[in-house]
Chain A
Amino acid sequence: MSNSTAAEVDLVGDETTLNIARAALFAALMGAFAYVAFPYPLSPAPVTLQVLGVFLAGLFLGPLWGAAAMVLYLLAGALGAPVFSNGGAGLGVLLGPTGGYLFSYPLAALAVGAVAHGGLELRSLAEASVARLVGGMVLGVAVIYGIGVPFLWWNLEMTLRTAVVTGAVVFVPAEAAKMTAAIGIVRSDAIRAA
């Protein structure tokens, strides 16, 4: 039977297979989070769990596989999986006003993971100090807004002041809440897979 095989089968390694499966499932989870909106009084756009997802990707998958998961998320969304806010999909979302936030996710997950784990290797989070975790997430948020706001500004040809107010300032309390939630999750040891 195996003699009908056209070429040598180049198996994906056991650990890599697990990492690919986790990255893909995590990307799908990000998509599922997009439907979970907590009402938020300061902005017409509801607060979703997605930025929390970016934090957790960096923390639990590590900087490299966390970033890879975010790339899968964006690519799947661009090609039609309804994974963006409220079931949005397609290249149009990425090229629309909020596209910059989305484009920043791989880099943000990489930043969160690299700071929290102190490098590109995935280490046990139990050893990471709260300062490291917070530092990583603050950097992650800086990356998300650092890319998202200029993109919004350019995309909608707004004034810079408008872009900063509508695109960043109103969300600061929500991001703080998500960081608190992320710290709580890491410290509670409730996630088994790490």
Chain B
Amino acid sequence: MIAVQNVVHERGETTALDGVSLRVDDGEFLALVGPNGSGKTTLVRHLNGLLDPDEGSVTVDGASVPENPVAARTSVGMVFQNPRDCFVAATVEADVAFGPENLGLDRAEIDRRVTAALEAVGMTTHRQRRIDRLSGGQQARVAIAGALAMEPAHLVLDEPFSGLDWPSRRTVLERLEALSADGTSLVIVTHDLRGLLERVDRIVALASGTVAFDGPPGAVAPRLESLGVRPC
């Protein structure tokens, strides 16, 4: 379980997060929405310790994130917007292996994890391919595999669908749904809920660094436009 309590994040003169609290239970499927600049990306970067809060606390399974970065980063996988700049290696296999290598696992275990992660995103046959020769949708799936190879309990995806055409988007969505069914909790940052509204358990909307809505998808539908999200 991820617990964010009253987190304040100052960025220079402006306050990016102003007392945000959020709970992500194990196995939950959650969409985090809000207009540009509402603090979505800043918030998720606190979930695995990429940012440290100025006030408040973030814990994963009861352990403070800033004090246990390795535990937080293995438990909370992160997939960034525009994965192109985030790949570490030129080939699919070498990139997916990067996380487990950093954990110091032995080769057999790394190999098992790479196989499992590629299977989970349906990219097994592309294992030896160069990443820059793959389509945008395939690259998005490799980025997810790179996070899955850490065997995280939670997976956070920042705008995973931006720049994807509809078939790629649907493929990624199906893979995510399968992960959710297997018990991985998912946090998807987006400003476009198409295809998500009927799948997620909960929606959290941010506005100007505070939580404007937190509830089931049924309750949010009539309010989407006022929350700065495309209605669907």
Residues of A within 8 A of B (CB): 1-2, 4-7, 9, 11
The reply to whether B151 and A9 form a contact with Cβ atoms under 8 Å apart is: no
Q: Is B229 an interface residue (CB 8 A)?
A: no
A11 to B48, CA, bound (A): 14
A1 to B105, CA, bound (A): 11
The reply to whether A5 and B105 form a contact with Cβ atoms under 8 Å apart is: yes
Q: Specify which chain A residues have a CB less than 8 angstroms from the CB of B69 in the assembled complex.
A: 11
The reply to whether B74 and A1 form a contact with Cβ atoms under 8 Å apart is: yes
Q: Specify which chain B residues have a CB less than 8 angstroms from the CB of A4 in the assembled complex.
A: 105, 109
Considering the complex, give the chain A residue whose CB is closest to the CB of B68. A2
Considering the complex, give the chain B residue whose CB is closest to the CB of A7. B104
Q: Is B106 an interface residue (CB 8 A)?
A: yes
How many interface contacts (CB-CB < 8 Å) are there between A and B?
A: 26
Contact with A along B102-113 (1 / 0, CB 8 A): 111110010000
Select the residue from B69, B104, B105 with max chain A CB neighbours within 10 A: B104
A189 to B153, CA, bound (A): 44
The reply to whether B71 and A5 form a contact with Cβ atoms under 8 Å apart is: no
Give 9 A-B contacts (CB < 8 Å), ordered by A residue: A1-B150, A2-B70, A2-B71, A2-B75, A5-B103, A6-B104, A6-B105, A9-B102, A9-B103
| A5 shortest CB reach to chain B, Å | 5
A4 to B71, CA, bound (A): 12
Q: Specify which chain B residues have a CB less than 8 angstroms from the CB of A9 in the assembled complex.
A: 70, 102-104
| B140 shortest CB reach to chain A, Å | 22
Contact with A along B98-130 (1 / 0, CB 8 A): 000011111001000000000000000000000
Considering the complex, give the chain A residue whose CB is closest to the CB of B69. A11
Q: Specify which chain A residues have a CB less than 8 angstroms from the CB of B104 in the assembled complex.
A: 5-7, 9
Considering the complex, give the chain B residue whose CB is closest to the CB of A5. B103
**Known contacts A1-B151, A4-B105; 18 further A-B pairs (Cβ under 8 A):** A1-B75, A2-B70, A2-B71, A2-B74, A2-B75, A2-B103, A5-B103, A5-B104, A5-B105, A6-B103, A6-B104, A6-B105, A6-B106, A9-B70, A9-B102, A9-B103, A11-B69, A11-B70
Q: Specify which chain B residues have a CB less than 8 angstroms from the CB of A1 in the assembled complex.
A: 74-75, 150-151, 153
A2 to B71, CA, bound (A): 7
A1 to B100, CA, bound (A): 11
Contact with A along B134-173 (1 / 0, CB 8 A): 0000000000000000110100000000000000000000
Considering the complex, give the chain B residue whose CB is closest to the CB of A12. B102
| A86 shortest CB reach to chain B, Å | 23
Q: Specify which chain B residues have a CB less than 8 angstroms from the CB of A11 in the assembled complex.
A: 69-70
A6 to B110, CA, bound (A): 12
A7 to B71, CA, bound (A): 13
| A89 shortest CB reach to chain B, Å | 16
A91 to B80, CA, bound (A): 37
Q: Specify which chain B residues have a CB less than 8 angstroms from the CB of A7 in the assembled complex.
A: 104
Q: Specify which chain B residues have a CB less than 8 angstroms from the CB of A2 in the assembled complex.
A: 70-71, 74-75, 103
